């Protein structure tokens, strides 16, 4: 992972579409506590569980928990999966391939607002949300970016940190192939309290 300092030894929440790359990135690190989520659908959860059990070798002190979760709802069960006494939140949330669902931008932002730990001292890493996506429908790219405009309106600090080209997953799909093959990664943070 190019930005390894973003993934250290702390609780991590993944809200993805059964993204095995995200799973591998997270659980290949030592001493991580990872909660991987997808919608409350038995097929999706069974697939996510199978991917974790079949493809990931957990390192010392790490554990991964798969949970069904409806984005935007209470995060208590996700927090309790790490520790029943964890009321401080996750230090890292990874969101993958969700910004194309324009009508649902509010739900993951609400989840992240509820689940992300609050920033503390200037010396500690700032809790962050990492968002990865491609523009599946290039003619709707501006609507994808509404996610970040909405996040800024809600007080998030947003910065694009990764742009990388890969072969298009569905080369026969309509729209400019280079746009569809470009993966974007953003880091979102909440401002530190004044005086920190």
pLDDT in tens, the chain (196 residues): 444 455 444 688 888 755 555 555 555 555 578 888 988 899 989 988 888 787 776 665 567 888 999 999 999 988 888 766 556 789 899 998 889 999 999 999 999 999 999 887 665 678 999 999 999 899 999 999 999 999 999 999 999 999 999 888 788 888 898 999 999 999 999 988 765 5
Q: Classify burial at 138, counting beta carbons within 10 Å of its beta carbon; exposed 0-12, middle 13-18, buried 19 or more.
A: middle
Question: What predicted TM-score, i.e. pTM, was given to this entire model?
Answer: 0.85
Q: Which helix (H) or strand (E) holds 189?
A: strand 182-189
Take residue 136 and report the two structure tokens written for it.
Answer: 């599946």
22: three-class secondary structure by DSSP: helix
**Tell me, what's the pLDDT at 171?**
81
Contact 95, 103 (CB under 8 A): no
CA gap 66, 54 in Å, rounded: 13
Q: Which domains does the chain have, with CATH numbers?
A: 4-189 (3.40.50.150)
**Tell me, what's the pLDDT at 86?**
58
CA gap 41, 179 in Å, rounded: 31
Cross-strand partners of 116: 90
């Amino acid at each position: 992972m190019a930005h390894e300092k973003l993934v250290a030894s702390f609780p991590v929440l993944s809200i993805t579409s059964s993204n095995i790359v995200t799973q591998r990135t997270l659980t290949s690190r030592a001493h991580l506590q990872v909660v991987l989520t997808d919608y409350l659908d038995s097929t999706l959860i069974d697939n996510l569980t199978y991917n974790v059990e079949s493809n990931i070798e957990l390192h010392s002190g790490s554990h991964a928990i798969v949970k069904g979760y409806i984005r935007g709802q209470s995060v208590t069960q996700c927090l309790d999966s790490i520790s029943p006494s964890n009321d401080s939140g996750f230090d890292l949330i990874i969101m993958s391939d969700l910004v194309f669902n324009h009508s649902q931008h509010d739900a993951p932002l609400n989840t992240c607002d509820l689940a992300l730990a609050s920033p503390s001292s200037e010396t500690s890493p700032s809790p962050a949300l990492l968002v990865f996506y491609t523009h599946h429908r290039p003619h709707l790219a501006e609507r994808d970016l509404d996610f970040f405009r909405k996040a800024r309106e809600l007080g998030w600090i947003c910065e694009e940190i990764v742009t990388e080209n890969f072969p298009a997953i569905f080369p026969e799909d309509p729209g400019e192939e280079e746009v569809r093959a470009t993966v974007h990664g953003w880091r979102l943070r909440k401002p530190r309290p004044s005086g920190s």
